[in-house]
Amino acid sequence: MTPTETDSIDLRALRLDDALALLAHAGKGGEPQAGESALGYLQKVIDGLCELSLRDPLTGLANRRQFHAVIERSLDSVARAGETMLLLMLDIDHFKSINDTHGHAAGDQVLRAIGATLARCVRPMDTVARYGGEEFAVILPSCRPAFGIAVAERIRQTIAGLSIAVAPRLNVSVTVSIGGAYAPEWVRSTPELWIDRADQNLYRAKTTGRNRAVIETPAQVSVSAEERGLLFSQLALDAAMVNEAGVAAAARDAGGHLSDTPHP
């Protein structure tokens, strides 16, 4: 696009009021900066709207739409790479009684505090989402089976230790129940099946007394670097044998010996 075309955008001709109001409400947006091109400004507005459409307004976490986009991408990489990926579903215990006792504003404060705590408890690469009502979800890529329960326990204990200010001179404490499931490796699966498995463990956590984490561990299988090394060194030899004729010829041409031929 040439500069002339860029400049031909007349911002006053566009109905941006609703979009700008949305952005302003989220603490973003504003008038074009001095010297900012109309195109640059529009791009910023669009980026801001995209960002907004993926966030939960109350907690600032990923919303359900973003969660589904991430979980679908994640399943793809699990099936292709055999990566171990954990999904945690988390539900605040007796949340209804907080709303009933202290009002919805207090409930909202609790949701915000839990959201912020969750985001602090996990790595930047993890996705924390508000799944609905008082239910949250966390997707943890590259989470080895041994670490799953440790992460879930850390989250559970941190939240249980919180004192959340919901009104002047009123703090409340809450607990959460957590259910987790690893994505089936090397297998085509669906987000629904994965979520369902995590949900079932959440249900187990709820029915066995709440304030606990239940994680379904995957069938243990790991191939150590040593094992891989032995397998691959043999493979490399085998590959050399495939090319035996060619390698021998090359070795002859180079005046060397076949046994000197390096293999990766």
Partner 1 sequence: MNDASSSQQPAAVPPHGKVLAVTSGKGGVGKTFVSANLAAALASRGHRVLVLDADLGLANLDVVLNLYPKITLHDVFTGKATLDEAILAAPGGFSVLLAGSGMVEYSRLTPDVRSEFLRVVTELVPRYDVVLLDTGAGISDVVLFAVSLASEVVMVATPEPTSLTDAYATIKVLVGQQQRQTLRIIVNQAVRPGAGEAITRQLQTVLDRFVATDPARAVRLVHLGDIPLDPQVRQAIMRRQLLLQAAPSSPAAVALAAIAAGLDASVIASVG
Interface residues with partner 1 (CB under 8 A)?
A: 82, 184-190, 193, 196-197, 216-224, 226-228, 230-232, 234-235, 238, 241-242
Residue 54 DSSP symbol: T
Residue 259 DSSP symbol: G
| Rounded Cα gap, residues 120 and 158, in angstroms | 10
Judged by beta carbon, residue 151 or residue 181, the one nearer partner 1 is 181
227 assigned to active site = no
Catalytic residue among 31, 72, 134, 185: 134
Nearest to 41 by CA among 29, 49, 53, 50: 29
SS3 260: helix
Angle in degrees, CA 240, 241, 242, rounded to 5: 90
Judged by beta carbon, residue 75 or residue 122, the one nearer partner 1 is 75
Q: How far is the CB of 87 from partner 1 (least distance, A)?
A: 14
Q: How far is the CB of 200 from partner 1 (least distance, A)?
A: 9
Nearest to 173 by CA among 79, 125, 238, 110: 110
Spell out the residues 6+ positions from residue 180 whose beta carbon is closer than 8 angstroms to its own.
86, 87, 88, 89, 148, 149, 152, 198, 201, 213, 214, 215, 216
Judged by beta carbon, residue 9 or residue 241, the one nearer partner 1 is 241
Q: How far is the CB of 139 from partner 1 (least distance, A)?
A: 19
Q: How far is the CB of 230 from partner 1 (least distance, A)?
A: 5
Distance of CA 255 to the CA centre of its chain: 56
Judged by beta carbon, residue 97 or residue 217, the one nearer partner 1 is 217
Known catalytic residues? 134
